[in-house]
Amino acid sequence: MTQHEAELTSGFRVERGQPYGFFTDTTLCIGCKACEVACKQWNSLPADNFDFLATSYDNTRSLGATTWRHVKFIEQAPDAKTQGGDPRWLFLSDICKHCENAGCLEACPTGAITRTEFGTVVIQQDICNGCNGVSLRQLHAWHDQALRVDLEYRGAPDMGALAVRLRPVTA
Amino acid sequence: MLQAIHDDQIKGLLLMGQNPAVGGHDASFVRRGLAHLDWLVVRDAFENETAAFWYASPEVQNGELDPRAIGTEVFLMPAALVGEKEGSFTNTHRLVQWHDKAVEPPADARSEPWFLHKLGKRLRELYAADTEPGSMRVRQLLDLTWDYPSKGPPDEPDVEMILREINGVRTADGSLVKDFNDLKDDGSTACGCWIYSGIMPQPGLNLARNRLPDPAGGPGTHLNWGFSWPANRRMLYNRASADPEGRPWSESKRYIWWDAEKSQWSGPDIPDFPRDKSPDYEPDWSKDPRGLDAHSGRAPFIMMADGLSWLYVPTGLLDGPLPTHYEPVESPVHNAVYAQQANPVAKLWERPENRYHLVGDPAYPYVLTTYRLTEHHTGGTMSRSVAWLAETQPEAFVELSPELAKDKGVDNGGWVTLWTARGEVEARALVTPRLRPLQLGGQLVHVVGMPWHFGYMGIAQGDIANTLSAMVGDPNVSIHEAKAFTCNLRAGRKNQA
């Protein structure tokens, strides 16, 4: 990686010692969803989706107004990409990024989305009129693209030697 | 026990934190058995499947049980959860950790000690008026010491007084013993459980309360964090970390060694060996040595009769002495290793309600395995009723391979019905490449998986996997064989047969 790769690729200069995002080490995640449940409990978010989705062990679907953390379960059948006979099961705990320029906060018509004194972006359930749930999900999807987590193999797949890095993505 | 209930030999059942209507094997047999009880007490945080068997079970839905004909009187008692009561928490790694009460339990919810203490006191009152006061039946209750002081409100017994009895006391003056070495076999001491002796070596000192970790840099045994039974030892048989002469096998992994200058074993753990017994000690057989005096100083396994480690186990285990491979009692294939198909001393309870499938029975061609999910806790009473947990795994499901799903016309997310000689269940299908057919002796064998937490109460519901399993016990501790048995399946719901 060159010294200012982000500046070259996305026009944003990354300075040392400044927080920019969350790093999730998928090689350590066991997919227990304790973070997902704790996030809802601590932030008093409602349990609001009791559908069985038949998408691996993921019954959460996506990040959204009442789901600020989501553990993705990615199942990969054995194919040429995995170079072996074993299917892979990857867990990725994704979260609201509390963007410095938060598009959802800017777009919110009721003022339900605010920035707290700790710098976090919070959706106040009692003020939100639910106007834009889909758009919020879309915003989160954009975040996913902006901070795409690349999983690459270093070494033999069966060693589980996964390298994870954040890569800002150009348009 | 559940068979004895079914056969009218046991008339009453008291359950604390258990849910056999979900967790019991051949669970339909279990639920039908509950209807034979005169009374059933369930103490839990929520109304569970066992407490609700008489009106909500599948046997009531399909007409096998009629609530009007069930004579069982059911008492549902609200239980305090861990943060709502004081007590100890013991993991299988032997560490006992004390926990305090953080908040009062809601409404009438109470701790187990509260319930049992009150129950004992009420029983004693009843038996005090008995017409045969001298009988053993009455004396075993009335002669019992049952006088725990209460802390209140809500009048909870002081559980550290129970810990005191577990630690052990001298019967003459009630003083605490220091550890199990103080215990005598002449009635001068009393101890609730010798392995915990030493957990409260002096009044007011409850070692399970200790919370002092070792600093960075070690030694890392954390002797001042909690109490590890027995004697606060962190590693059992740790004398084996030294060679027969008492020197560490490896300097970099030194743990317990013989300190010749001080004539004692030392190291960062409590030695699991008589502290001053030299490695060159040999029993003097002319003096008829007893107990540990009959063990050599080179024999670290002090709980074994000969003080030695056993690779070959001639006694103790019922299915020894060497490990081998047996097929499960129910299997689609014959044992490829031995003529002996399954464990010859497995516990079988063959009866019309608990029939087993024959080896390779074409009526039950698939292997079924049952298991837990991280989102739910065993019988599910504590997790399926919590909305945040329930939404993460909201419903019972069956996992099967894409190959089998295609064979049987099962759609991902659609319904699938499974059956065995014990019962039938339906659940949603989760088609996944994680499950793959096995090649066993040239035969293609499909494996199906089903989590067993779900039931008919709480928020996250679904059919009970143990309705399919059989009562089969391992010979030593009767663990049931629910990890591998056989079944059949088809696409669709139960009532569309």
**Of B312, B276, B305, the residue nearest B290 (C-alpha):** B305
Tokens 């550290």 locate to: B160
Residues in chain A closer than 8 A to B453 (CB atoms): none
Q: In chain B, what residues touch A74 (CB-CB under 8 Å)?
A: none
Q: What is the separation of C-alpha A33 from the centre of its chain, rounded to a whole number of angstroms?
A: 13
pLDDT at B314: 80
The rounded distance, in Å, linking the Cα atoms of B210 and B9 is 46
Tokens read off for A149: 């987590």
**Given an 8 Å threshold on Cβ–Cβ distance, is B390 in contact with A50?**
yes
- Judging contacts by C-beta atoms under 8 Å, the chain A residues touching residue B388 are 37, 40-41, 47
Closest CA to A37 of B451, B387, B384: B387
Segment among A105-114, B368-377, B391-400 with least mean pLDDT: A105-114
Number of other CB atoms surrounding residue B396 within 10 Å: 22
- Is the ipTM above a cut-off of 0.90? no
CB contact under 8 A, B413 and A52: yes
Residue in B with minimal Cα distance to A70: B392
Judge: A33–B397 Cβ closer than 8 Å, yes or no: no
What distance in Å separates the CA atoms of residue B158 and residue B162, rounded to the nearest whole number?
7
- Residue B212, classed as helix, strand or coil, is coil
Is there a cis peptide before residue B321, judged by omega within 30 degrees of 0?
A: yes
Query: With an 8 Å Cβ cutoff, are A87 and B436 in contact?
Result: yes
Q: Work out the end-to-end distance of chain B between its first and last CA atoms, rounded to an integer number of angstroms.
A: 34
Q: For residues A155 and A146, give the distance between their C-alpha atoms in angstroms, rounded to a whole number.
A: 27
Q: Distance between CA B30 and CA B466 in Å, rounded?
A: 10
Nearest C-alpha of chain A: how many angstroms from B400? 11
Nearest CB partner across the interface for B428, out of A31, A32, A52: A52
pLDDT of B279 higher than 60: yes
A:B CB pairs within 8 Å? 62
Report the alpha-carbon distance of residue B400 to residue B420 in Å, rounded: 17
pLDDT band at residue B364 under the 50/70/90 scheme:
very high
CA distances from B192 to B85, B120, B168 (A): 21, 17, 6
User: How much of chain B, in percent, has pLDDT values that exceed 90?
Assistant: 90
Q: Do B392 and A59 touch (CB under 8 A)?
A: yes
Q: Which of B374, B388, B430 shows the shortest C-beta gap to A32?
A: B374
For the record, the structure tokens of B293 come out as 């005096």
B372: which chain A residues are within 8 Å (Cβ-Cβ)? none
Q: Is pLDDT at A141 greater than 90 in this prediction?
A: no
* Single-letter code of the amino acid located at B83: G
> Cβ atoms within 10 A of the Cβ of A168, count?
19
Three-state secondary structure call for residue B483: coil
Q: What is the pLDDT of residues B436-481, one digit of tens each?
A: 999 998 899 999 999 999 999 999 999 999 999 999 999 999 999 9
Question: Token pair of B377, please?
Answer: 């806790």
Residues of chain B contacting A41 with CB distance shorter than 8 Å = 388
Give residue ranges of A with CB < 8 Å to any B CB: 30-34, 36-37, 40-41, 46-54, 56-57, 59-60, 75-78, 87, 89
Q: What's residue A166's pLDDT?
A: 35
> What's the CA gap between A161 and A155, in Å, rounded?
6
What's residue A125's pLDDT? 78
- B432 and chain A: CB distance < 8 Å anywhere? yes
pLDDT in tens, B45-92: 999 999 999 999 999 999 999 999 999 999 999 999 999 999 999 989
